[in-house]
Chains A and B, each alone.
Chain A
Amino acid sequence: MIPRRAFLAAMAASALTPRLSWADAGSPAFLAFAKEPDGQHALFGIDVMGHDVFRVPMPGRGHAGAAHPVAPEAVGFARRPGTFARVIDCANGRVLTELHSPEGRHFMGHGSFLQGGDILATLENDYISTRGKIGLWSRSQGYKRVGEIETHGVGPHEALQMADGTLVVANGGIQTDPRVEDGRGKLNLPTMQPSLAYITPEGELLEQVFLDPDLHLNSIRHLAMTGDGLVGFAMQWQGDTMDGVPLLGLHRRGWAEAKLAEAPLGEQLAMNGYAGSVALSGDGRYFGITSPRGGRLHIFDHGANFVAVHRRPDICGLAAGPEGFLATDGLGGVWHATAEEFQPFTRAERAWDNHVVTL
C-alpha cells in the first residue's frame, strides 16, 4: 500500500510539473510494439489512420505498454517473465529510466497509470509465494517503488482502474516460475483457478468472480471496460482447442456471475481456444476479441450476443478507435473494424506484436 504521505507528496509534485504533452511526440493515437524485418524491436506511435508518428528502438521484444495520460511517456514492459520495464520519453526517444522488479518477482507484461498518472501499477508474479502482486511506482519520485498490493490470485496479467478508483484485476490463474522452463511452463493446470478481482488501491479485496468449475482452465488474461463499469475479460483456454469454450466474459460489480459470450459453434471453434486481446469499441457499444491462432476478430454486444466476425491471419492487437476498433496483425497490417466493415488502414514491413495501447 502507498503511504498516505508519500502519495500526497507525489500528487502535489505532479501538479506542479509543467511538462511536455503527447502533442510534443506528434500526437499519436496509439502505441504498439513491433518486430522489424532485420530483427530489431521498436515501439511505434501511430495516428488514428495507422500512420507512423514516431519510432523508438527497443532492446528486445516487449509485450504491452502503459501510456501516461498527459505526458508523452510510455512504459514498455519486457515480455513475461522479464524483470525490467523501460520508461521512454516519446518526444525524443530517450530512455528516462528503467524499472527493475524486486528479487523473487518478474513483470507480467502489462501495467497502467493510476491516480491521474502519478502512480504506475505493474502486474507481477511473486514466484516464491506464488501470489500475484501489483507493484506501485511513483513517477514524481523518479519511478521509485513506493508500495505493492496483493491481487488475490495467481498469475495476474492485466489490471484497469475504474472511475471510482477500484482496480479490476485479471488473475490468469496459471502458476509459472522463471526458474522452470524459462518461466513459460505451466505448473498448476489441474488446480488452476482464474478470477476477476476488484480491489481497492490499498489492496483490499472487494469482490471476486470465479468461472464455473468446468471452465477453470480458461485463463483470464486481458481486460477492457465501459465508462460505467461493465468489464470485458478475454480468456485463453488451456484444454483442447476443440472444446469450443467461450473466450469473452462480461461482468459488472454486484453480478453473482459473469455473462459468457460465444459465437455459433463452428465460428467459436475457429478461435482455437485463444483470445489474444480485448477492447471496447470507440462508441462503447461493443467488445471485440482477437484470435491470432484462428485469424479472427469477434465482436459482441453488451448482452454477450455475437455481432460480427472479421478474418485476418495473425490478427492480435486491438484497441478502441474513433469509430469501432483499430486492429493490428503480425503481417504488418493496421485495420479499421466496426460491426459492419473491416478495411486496411496501412501495411508496413513489420510484425505488430500482441497489443495496441490507446492514448
Chain B
Amino acid sequence: MRFLPAAALILSLTATTATADVADAVEQEILPGTAAFAEGAEALKAQADANCLPNVELQEAWNDAFDGWMGISHLRFGPLEVDGRVNAIAFWPDKKGFTPRMLGQMVADADEIVDQPDEFHELSVAARGLFALEYLLYDDQFAGYEADSYTCRLVQAISTDLARMAEEIDQEWRDEAAPALLSAGEAGNTTYLDRDEAVRVLYTSLLSGLEFTADSRLGRPLGTFDRPRASRAEARRSGRSLRNVTLSLEALQGLARALMAPEEMPQSEAAFASVFEAIEAVETPDLSQVDETSGRLKVEIVQQRVQLLRRTVEGEVGGHFGLSAGFNSADGD
C-alpha cells in the first residue's frame, strides 16, 4: 500500500532556525520597487495627458512604467492582490482575446466611462492596465488614432487608472504591508501568525515568479516542438517579451539575495548567471524565433535553465529556511 505521496514527504514545518532578512527584502527590494513603479506610472500618466498620440515619447514612458512593474510583479500578495490589481495592471495571458475585444467595443460605442475616472476601476480588468495600453499604442487595429479621438482619451483614462493603482500599491506597502511583514508573529498581527509566515510568503513569491517565467513567459510561445506559438509571447507587440524575462529574473535575484543575507547563495547565483548567459543568445526581443528550429532551441535552453534555477533555489534557499511548497496547494484532491 502506498499511502504517503512523495510531495508530502518533503514538507517540513520545523521552525525556522536560520533568520531570514525580511527587513532587508522589504527595505532594499520591495519598497524601492513599489516606489519606482509608482513613479513610472505617474510619468506615463503625465506624458499621456500632455500628448496621448502613440508616439515614441509615450511608448517610452509606457516602457518605463512596464519596467517598474517587472520589479514587483512577483509580489502577488498584500497590496497587489486587493481589488484584482495584479490582473488589472497586467492582464496576461489573455487566452480568449478579451482585451482587444473589449477595447474594440469601447471604441465602437465611445463608452463614456473614459470621462468618469472614479468609475474606471469598475471596468473589466481585461480593458485596463499595461496590456490594454500596449494594444492601443502598438497594435494596427488601434494605433492609428488621432489627437482628438475617443482612443486618445481612452489612453489617458487607462494611464490615469494605472497611475492611481501604482500609487495606492506604493502607499499601502509603506503603511500596511511592510509593517505587517516586519511584525510577523507579534500580538495583533493577523496576517502573519508567525515569523516563519513572513519568510514563507516571500519565498513563495520567489518560486512562483520563476515558475511563471518558465511556464508562461517562455512556455506559452514555445508551445510544442511541432506547434510553436510565437503569437502567444507576452508583450510581443511592443517587442519586450525577452526584456520581461530578464527584468523579472533580476528582481527575483534581488529578492533571493536579500532573503538570504548575510548568507550567500553560490549555487543559486551560478544558476542565475547561467540563465542570463542563455538569454544573451536569444536574438528576437519578441521571441518570434521560436517559429524556426534553431531559434526555438535557444529559447528552450533559457526555459530549461530557469527550471533548473527554480530547483536550485528550492534546494538552497528553501533548504536554508526549512521551507517547501504548501501542503494543500502542492497536493490537493
Contact = CB atoms under 8 A, between A and B. Distances in A.
A binds B: yes
A276 B327 CA distance: 12
A63 B3 contact: no
A-side binding surface: helix, strand, loop or mixed? Answer: mixed
B125 A182 contact: no
A240 B3 contact: no
B245 to A, nearest CB: 18
Interface string A56-72: 00011101000000000
B50 interface: no
Contacts of B190: 342-344
A35 interface: yes
Contacts of B2: 182
Interface size class of A (residues with CB under 8 A): 35 or more
Nearest to A266: B84
B240 interface: no
A351 B201 contact: no
A351 B13 contact: yes
A289 interface: no
B200 interface: yes
Interface string A233-260: 0001000101100000000000000000
Nearest to B76: A270
Interface string B112-147: 000000000000111000000000000000000000
B84 A267 contact: yes
Interface string A266-277: 110110001010
B225 interface: no
Interface stretch (A14-22, A88-96, A125-133, A327-335): A327-335
A55 interface: no
Contact of B333 (A79, A182, A266, A333): A79
A292 B329 contact: yes
Nearest to B98: A265
Nearest to B94: A242
Interface string A298-326: 00000000000001011110000000000
B328 A329 contact: yes
B215 to A, nearest CB: 10
Interface in B134-173: none
B1 A266 contact: no
A37 B5 CA distance: 16
A76 B124 CA distance: 44
B329 A61 contact: no
A88 B86 CA distance: 46
A236 B3 CA distance: 23
Interface range on chain B (Cβ under 8 Å from partner):
35 or more
Contacts of A344: 190, 193
Nearest to B215: A241
A331 B5 CA distance: 19
B3 A295 contact: no
Contact of B77 (A78, A243, A311): A311
Nearest to B12: A37
Contacts of A82: 1, 3
Contacts of A353: 327-328
A343 B191 CA distance: 9
B4 interface: yes
A306 B2 CA distance: 40
Contacts of B200: 313, 331
B18 interface: no
A60 B5 CA distance: 10
A243 B328 contact: no
B108 interface: no
B128 to A, nearest CB: 9
A269 B95 CA distance: 12
A222 to B, nearest CB: 10
Contacts of B326: 292, 313-314, 330-331
B76 to A, nearest CB: 8
Contacts of A313: 77, 197, 200-201, 204, 326, 329
Q: Output the residue of A316, A330, A333 with the most chain B CB within 10 A.
A: A330
Given A37-B12, A265-B126, A354-B332, 10 more contacts: A36-B13, A61-B5, A264-B124, A265-B87, A270-B84, A311-B81, A313-B326, A331-B194, A351-B328, A354-B328
Interface of B: 1-5, 8-9, 11-15, 77, 81, 83-88, 91, 93, 95-96, 98, 124-126, 190, 193-194, 196-197, 200-201, 204, 326-329, 332-333
Interface of A: 35-37, 39, 59-61, 63, 78-80, 82-84, 109, 157, 182, 221, 236, 240, 242-243, 264-267, 269-270, 274, 276, 292-293, 295, 311, 313-316, 329-333, 342-344, 347, 349-354
14 contacts: A37-B13, A37-B14, A264-B124, A264-B125, A265-B84, A266-B86, A293-B332, A295-B329, A313-B197, A314-B328, A316-B329, A316-B332, A344-B193, A354-B333
4 cross-chain pairs, A with B, having the tightest CB-CB distances, nearest first: A266-B84, A60-B3, A330-B327, A292-B328
